[in-house]
């Protein structure tokens, strides 16, 4: 199986870039499954239902969120009726939506997609490690699900790495999101799980993690809130990873970075 995972979509420039490129990328990379993190798609804060619909229409099989999940209130009723849009599973019980989904593929295979959020330097949610273990116990990799993909939305690299090693051999991919900068540590861990600390963002890199650099920089200089942050609107770089899994076990054979257009050096994962 070939899995394409795209990092945080930031603002209109990120949405437009992903929406335009995804049909072509899906075909060129022969992707069986596409997962997109879109928690920053709406002006950098949250996701609106019409934006989610557009990403699904472009070819996303599942959309994940993060700490900005509820910044657009109109998403609350939409997520309750849209199983393929998932929020971090370690929000408290009773929170709208779900933290995992099993996506059926056209060829009959099923893939489990999970979203969890770290707790270091982020809101103190329930334990993402224990919550993920509970969800994984419901399905068997290489059995009733052909692959398992986890978006771990976290700030600290140490927490992300600990999470990846914790579930090595149990899932196909652990992809970190949230920090918006693509890391170069993509690897297949010893147990067979593909891992990357951060998949990067789909947005304008002439910015401060996707936001306009002038306003963001002034906050550091003056320690004052200043104007509301707005997404940078220059050409977007599309960032993500492509993972190939073994059909028998569901574990990863390889992971390769994808970077296309925009300012960063390109990286093409091949076919």
Residue 235 DSSP class: P
> Catalytic pick from 68, 153, 180, 186?
68
Residue 91, CA distances (Å) to 51, 66, 69, 73 in order: 23, 10, 10, 16
Please give the Cα distance from 192 to 73 (Å, whole number): 39
Per-residue buried b or exposed e for 241-260, using 16+ beta carbons within 10 Å of the residue's own CB = bbbbbeeebbbbeebbbbbb
Please give the Cα distance from 86 to 61 (Å, whole number): 11
Residue 108, CA distances (Å) to 7, 143, 252 in order: 27, 13, 20
Compute the half-sphere exposure of residue 81: CA atoms within 13 Å on the CB side of its CA. Answer: 6
Nearest to 15 by CA among 30, 48, 100, 209: 48
Using an 8 Å Cβ cutoff, are 261 and 17 in contact?
yes
Please give the Cα distance from 178 to 156 (Å, whole number): 10
Neighbouring residues of 113: CB distance < 8 A, sequence distance ≥ 6: 35, 61, 62, 64, 86, 100, 101, 102, 103, 148, 149, 150, 151
Concatenated DSSP letters of 60-114:
-SEEE--TTTTSSTTHHHHHHT-TTEE--TTSPTT-SS-SEEEEEPTTS-EEEEE
Active site residue 153: no
**Token duo for residue 90:** 């370690």
List active site positions: 68
């Amino acid at each position: 199986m070939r899995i394409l995972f795209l990092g945080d979509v930031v603002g209109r420039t990120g949405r437009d870039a992903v929406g335009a490129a995804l049909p072509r990328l899906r075909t060129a990379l022969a992707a069986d499954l596409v997962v997109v993190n879109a928690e920053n798609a709406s002006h950098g804060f949250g996701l609106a239902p019409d934006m989610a619909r557009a990403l699904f229409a472009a070819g996303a099989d599942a959309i994940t969120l993060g700490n900005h999940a509820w910044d657009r209130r109109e998403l609350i009723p939409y997520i309750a009726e849209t199983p393929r849009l998932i929020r971090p599973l370690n929000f408290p019980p009773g929170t709208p939506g779900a933290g995992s989904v099993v996506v059926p593929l056209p060829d009959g295979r099923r893939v489990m997609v999970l979203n969890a959020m770290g707790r270091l330097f982020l809101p103190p949610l329930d334990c993402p490690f224990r919550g993920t273990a509970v969800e994984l116990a419901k399905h068997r990799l290489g059995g009733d699900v052909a692959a398992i993909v986890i978006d771990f939305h976290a700030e600290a690299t140490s927490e992300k790495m600990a999470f990846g090693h914790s579930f090595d051999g149990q899932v196909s991919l652990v992809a970190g999101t949230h920090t918006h900068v693509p890391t170069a540590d993509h690897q297949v861990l010893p147990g067979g799980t593909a891992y990357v600390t951060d998949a990067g963002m789909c947005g304008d890199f002439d910015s401060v993690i996707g936001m306009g650099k002038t306003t963001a920089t002034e906050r550091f200089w003056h320690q004052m809130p200043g104007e509301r942050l707005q997404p940078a609107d220059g050409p977007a770089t599309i960032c993500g990873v492509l993972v190939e899994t073994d059909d028998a076990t569901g574990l990863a054979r390889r992971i390769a970075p994808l970077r296309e257009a925009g300012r960063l050096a390109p990286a093409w994962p091949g076919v």
